Amino acid sequence: MRTVRQLLEAKSPDIYVVRPDTHVIDAVRLMAEKGIGAVLVMDGPVLVGIVSERDYARKVVLQGRASSGTPVSAIMTAEVITVDPDDTADRCMRTVTERRIRHLPVVRDGQVLGVVSIGDLVKAVIEDQQLELDQLQRYIAS
């Protein structure tokens, strides 16, 4: 099974970040421009939260808030679930399934190294299963 480190090596190294005082509309624009579903909220080098499209829908749209006047700190998830680069894709898949989340920041010694999404995890699991299937077919054929 692949590690988170291997997943990050296969991805773009870009990490998209906003500050806690960034207006929600600017965070949503960044997500739209980059084609991503969440951005990290950082105060300098410190990860203080994560804000996702789901946060926007539930905490701005449904509550009638103004996205242009609301800071991301008001809607972000402050208790961020993170993973280590040495964690496996399988462990991460269990985490996103059990916690019903879609994005896992990768952190080591307080430093953010990247983000893995549920899409990254599904892709890795499918590729690993295909590799195993190919090996079994070769074994049976030999």
Domains defined along the chain, listed by start: 4-141 (3.10.580.10)
Task: Give per-residue pLDDT as tens, 72-103.
Answer: 999 999 999 999 999 999 999 999 999 999 99
Place of tokens 């010694």: 109
Amino acid 26: pLDDT: 97
Amino acid 94: pLDDT: 95
Which stretches in the chain have pLDDT values below 50? none
pTM, entire model? 0.88
Q: Quick check: 12 and 100 in contact, CB under 8 A?
A: no
Amino acid 132: pLDDT: 84
What span, in angstroms and rounded, lies between the C-alpha atoms of 47 and 44? 8
